[in-house]
Chain A
């Protein structure tokens, strides 16, 4: 059975305020500051490990919090049918 092809984050239109729009599917969603940062850094090609370090530095949070937020977001984008790879 053919499954639906995963879409790339690079295909999304993202505003500075965190509005996320997929021009192909019409999906509209919002990302908070953390999500916005993660999504942009994924699109820029940073690895999850690099993004975790970036979150720790930028938001002054501990490693556990950064890792949790990152994994939560990666699971959310996977659930929506997007890949960051």
Chain B
């Protein structure tokens, strides 16, 4: 029996990967275990879903630092006897990587890259990584302060990106400047200005073994996009060039753990331009499972040191469409989440 803690449980309009990861784990035929949700807010929708999480705990925001996180995990571990933690949000990864050693001593396993690997694929260093690796990527400039904003020689449209989250296409200097200001206010500097490559976006998800090998991978193309460019409906595909790109990236980084690859296939020349590398499962990872490759379960087996299942055959033509619903409950049934920062669904009538 596995006791697995999962973060990233917002399942609202911009769903995080946590609930899809949980679905992948729970739907594996051999799953026997308990899911412990780790949330940042009492109304983070996934923590309230008793079908997904057995218990839920609030953890401190990443800005509180590694020691606060470690202290809180100690408390949770004392109650839950965790086996594995799967973090699913970019902003918390550095803290989890920093405390991985202490967690291992407590008997809690993670399967994560090193801090150096995390930095190598960051948005601010992606161009450098691509240049060294012979991978195509759009030209990218960094704005580190308001004084750096100068679009006088920029060719539009451009893509304005926060260093962690959010990306917007801007068709004029005015719009670009507003986006920079807005992103800087939310996420701080640096802000990235990226060349706009005309073409369609393709995505891959993979699990790396830390030695350059890919343990499993799946590919998809977005069919319907949200206002923020997230894939609302997607289809699994079978594209050897994209798969080769994913393998090359994992090999180059010797990546350990889950990684999402976002690329644009240029309309002009058909080449794949790497846009982003996200150091965790994407919110569409359930599509990978539905198309035959249960990557969260694979990750769990790797973290636990178990023998892996036979490699699965990934198939194209599986469609995924996001579907939002409402969770309804009496406030009294979740009051402990507000007052004590924990909730045990088995105790809720």
Binding site for B on A (CB under 8 A): 1-5, 13, 21, 23-26, 28
When C-beta atoms are compared, the residue in chain B nearest to A22 turns out to be B237
Contact A2 B270 (CB under 8 A): yes
Question: Taking beta carbons and an 8 Å cutoff, which residues of B are in contact with A?
Answer: 200, 202, 220-221, 223, 235, 237-240, 265-271, 316-317
Q: Which residues of B contact A24 (CB under 8 A)?
A: 237-240, 316
Instruction: Report Cα–Cα, A26/B266, bound state, in Å.
Output: 15
| Chain A residues with CB below 8 A from B238, complex form | 23-24
CA distance A13 to B223 in the complex (A): 17
Check if B317 sits within 8 Å of A1, measured CB to CB. no
Could you tell me if B267 and A28 are in contact, using CB atoms closer than 8 angstroms?
A: no
User: With a CB–CB cut-off of 8 A, which chain B residues contact A1?
Assistant: 268-269
Closest approach, in angstroms, between the C-beta of A36 and any C-beta of chain B? 18
The answer to whether A3 touches B270, judged by C-beta atoms less than 8 angstroms apart, is yes
CB distance from B198 to the nearest CB of A (A): 12
Q: Which of A2, A3, A4, A26 contacts B223 (CB 8 A)?
A: A26
Instruction: Say how far B68's CB is from chain A's closest CB, in angstroms.
Output: 43
Asked if A3 and B239 make an inter-chain contact with CB atoms under 8 angstroms apart, the answer reads no
Q: What's the Cα separation between A44 and B270 when bound, in Å?
A: 28
Is B237 a contact of A26 with CB atoms below 8 Å? yes
Contacts of A5 in B (CB 8 A): 270
Tell me the bound Cα distance from A5 to B270 in angstroms. 7
- Give A27's nearest chain B residue, CB to CB: B221
**In the complex the two chains form, what is the Cα distance from A22 to B146 in whole Å?**
45
Given contacts A21-B317, A26-B221, contact A4 B235 (CB under 8 A): no
Residues of A close to B202: CB separation below 8 A:
26
The secondary-structure label for the interface of chain A is loop
Q: Please, which residues of chain A bring their CB within 8 A of the CB of B270?
A: 2-5
User: Which residue in chain B gives the minimum CB-CB distance to A19?
Assistant: B317
Closest 5 CB pairs of A and B: A26-B221, A4-B270, A23-B316, A26-B237, A23-B238
Q: Are B237's CB and A4's CB within 8 A? A: no
Q: Which residue on A lies nearest to B235, using beta carbons?
A: A26
Q: Is the CB of B317 within 8 A of A23?
A: yes
Question: CA separation between A3 and B220, bound complex, in Å?
Answer: 23
Offer 11 A-B interface pairs, CB within 8 angstroms, sorted by A: A1-B269, A2-B269, A2-B271, A3-B268, A13-B316, A13-B317, A23-B317, A24-B237, A24-B239, A26-B202, A26-B316
Q: Is the CB of B237 within 8 A of A23?
A: yes
Question: Looking across the interface, which residue of chain B has its beta carbon closest to that of A2?
Answer: B269
Q: Which residues of B contact A28 (CB under 8 A)?
A: 223, 235
Q: What's the Cα separation between A27 and B328 when bound, in Å?
A: 38
> How far is B200's CA from A28's CA once the two chains are assembled, in angstroms?
13
B265 to chain A: which residues have CB within 8 Å?
25
Docked complex Cα distance between A2 and B265 (Å):
13
Which of chain A's residues has its CB closest to B316's CB?
A23
Q: With the chains together, A2 CA to B270 CA distance in Å?
A: 8
Chain A: which residue is nearest B202 at the CB level? A26
Q: How many Å lie between the Cα of A42 and that of B142 in the bound state? A: 50
With both beta carbons as reference points, the residue of chain A lying nearest to B269 in the complex is identified as A2
Question: Could you tell me the distance in whole angstroms from the C-beta of A1 to the nearest C-beta in chain B?
Answer: 6
Instruction: Select A4's contact among B221, B267, B317, beta carbons within 8 Å.
Output: B267
In the complex the two chains form, is A3's CB within 8 Å of B269's CB? yes
- The interface centre, meaning the residue of A2, A21, A23 with most chain B CB atoms within 10 A of its CB, is A23
Which of B239, B240, B266 contacts A25 (CB under 8 A)? B239
Distance (whole angstroms) from the CB of A5 to the closest CB of chain B: 6
Contact between A25 and B317, CB atoms less than 8 A apart: no
Asked whether, in the complex, the Cβ of A25 is within 8 Å of the Cβ of B269, the reply is: no
For A23, list chain B residues within 8 Å (CB): 237-238, 316-317
What is the chain B residue whose CB lies nearest that of A11? Answer: B238
Smallest Cβ distance from A30 to chain B, in angstroms? Answer: 14
Known: A4-B267, A24-B240, A25-B265. 20 other contacts (CB 8 A): A1-B269, A2-B270, A2-B271, A3-B270, A4-B266, A4-B269, A13-B316, A13-B317, A21-B316, A21-B317, A23-B316, A24-B237, A24-B238, A24-B239, A25-B200, A25-B221, A26-B202, A26-B220, A26-B223, A26-B237
